[in-house]
Every structure is written in structure tokens, then in C-alpha cells.
Structure 1
Amino acid sequence: MSTLQVGDKAPAFSTQAVGGTYRVATPVKLSDLLGQAVVLYFYPKDDTPGCTTQACGIRDEWQSIKITGAHLFGVSIDSEKSHEKFIAKFDLPFPLLSDTDKSIVVAYGVWVEKSMYGKKY
């Protein structure tokens, strides 16, 4: 796993998006957005305190983000079903990408396995 640097080509990905303009699970490929501004924000888990604060902060600034024309996606290793519940619970207006096989988080160098009280996550 290497760290991306400014100017590096973003690693390609293909996964499912839910929420925002993707009302139901919809395939999304980075290559389909070529030449457009794309913002990915990575977070560890749906509906946890820190991740909820982050998502709600983005939600609260959504209109100012939306007018830039950038495509913004939240990315975590949670399932589409988990994302749907998270979106509904906090009224998130932007799409979330499901990376259950960890291919995106590994490619972007943001995956770190944690452990606490003998539990790995």
C-alpha cells in the first residue's frame, strides 16, 4: 500500500453507489467521470460518532459543495444496506460508495486495520 501524492493519477475503481442521485444501488466507475471534478472522502464505518459528525458536516455544507459541480462520494467498507440506513437516518443528500472488498481503500492507501479489546475492525 503506497501513499498517493499530489499529481498522482487516482486509482481506478468500480463499485456500487447509493444515495444522492443514485436512488438505488447503481454501478459507478471512476473512468465514467473522467475530466470531471471528483471528491472522495473516506471514513471507517457508518453510524459511528466521528463518522456521523463528518457526514453531517458535509450534509450541512452540501449546497455550497453542490454548486461547484464536483461529484462527491463518501467511501467506506460498509454494505449498500448499511449505507442506505445511514443516509436515511441522517438525511444525507450525497452518495456513498460501498467498498466491501476493501479494494478502493487499499488502492488509495487509507486502510488500516485497528484492534480494540481483542476485536479487529
Structure 2
Amino acid sequence: MLEPGDPAPDVSARNQDGESVTPDFGEPTVVFFYPEDFTKGCTAEAAEFQAALPEFRELGVAVYGVSMDDAERHAEFADAEGLRFDLLADPDGTVAEAFGVSTEHGYADRRTVLLADGEVLATYAPEPAGHAADVLDDVRGKFVVEG
């Protein structure tokens, strides 16, 4: 797993609309890896990121979900759950590998990475419930100056 201070990897993948996406890690970005579309924990985690999406966007932070599901399954998942952020299809585990996320069980481990300025700022090995709120709190701490 990448660690804070490591350079952000260069990755591209198809999203749920079949478009090739290359995230700009020079900008504040959250990438959350999850095992599989339509499972209980993954659905809950994605729903929490969707609920917090307006706040992430207000703070200028892009959000991407990544699993080893294909773009077609991501499209079904995004539609069913009302997800309005990119879900990146990583069926061969290339994106996960670039981040050092294990796929040894045939799915990506649940990990999240916060990036900006071309480097990793924080990493998480979360439980799904409450995770999006925890990341949002960290984002506020790193990118919002009070007063």
C-alpha cells in the first residue's frame, strides 16, 4: 500500500459510462477501493460517499470508487444506487496494483487513499460504515483553514 509522501501513480481506467478516465492527482482526490458492487458493505460505503459528495465537491475534492468489476456492472451499480461519481473498472487489478492494494483473493481489498499535489496525503484501511465522514473530516483538516 502506498504511504503518505509517496508519489501518486499514473492510472487510467474506464468508468461506468465506458469513458477512459485519468484522474488528476495534482488536485485533491479521494480514491476508495472496494471489493465488489452490490454487496452490503460496499453498497453502504458507496452510498455514504454519494451522500457526502456535495461537501467533497464544495471543497474541490474529486471522488473515485474502484473495484475489479467491469464497466457494465459499475453502470448497473451506479444506476441502482444513484451514484454520481466515477466508478473505475479495474478487472485486471492494474489500478489496485499501482496503489499497492492487494487483489490476491480475486477482489481489491477495502482501502482508501487521499491525494493532492501529486502525492499521497493519507491512507485508510476502513470499515465501510462512517468511513466517508471520516475522510471528509480529514479533508476539512487538510484543505480548509478556519478563521
Residue 26, structure 1, aligned to residue 19, structure 2:
yes
- Counterpart CA distance in 2 for 1:13 and 1:47 is 24
SS in 1 for 2:18: strand
One-letter code aligned to 1:105 = A
- Counterpart CA distance in 2 for 1:29 and 1:58 is 20
Structure having the larger proportion of residues in strand: 1
Structure 1 runs, 4 residues or longer, greater than 2 Å off: none
Residue 9, structure 1, aligned to residue 7, structure 2:
yes
One-letter code aligned to 1:91 = G
- Counterpart CA distance in 2 for 1:17 and 1:75 is 9
Cα contact 2:30–2:63 (8 A) shared by 1: yes
One-letter code aligned to 1:47 = F
Q: How high is the TM-score relative to the length of structure 1?
A: 0.81
Task: Output aligned runs, 1:29-48, within 5 Å.
Answer: 29-30=22-23, 33-48=24-39
Match of 2:50 in 1: 59
Match of 2:62 in 1: 71
Percent identity reads 34
SS in 2 for 1:100: coil
Which blocks of at least 5 consecutive residues in structure 1 are unaligned? 19-23, 115-119
SS in 2 for 1:40: strand
Match of 2:125 in 1: none
Which blocks of at least 5 consecutive residues in structure 2 are unaligned? 108-147
| Coordinate RMSD, CA, aligned | 1.5
Q: Which of 72, 86, 101 does residue 81 from structure 1 map onto?
A: 72
- Counterpart CA distance in 2 for 1:65 and 1:45 is 23
Measure how far apart 1:34 and its partner are: 5.0
- Counterpart CA distance in 2 for 1:34 and 1:42 is 16
- Counterpart CA distance in 2 for 1:52 and 1:59 is 10
Residue 96, structure 1, aligned to residue 87, structure 2:
yes
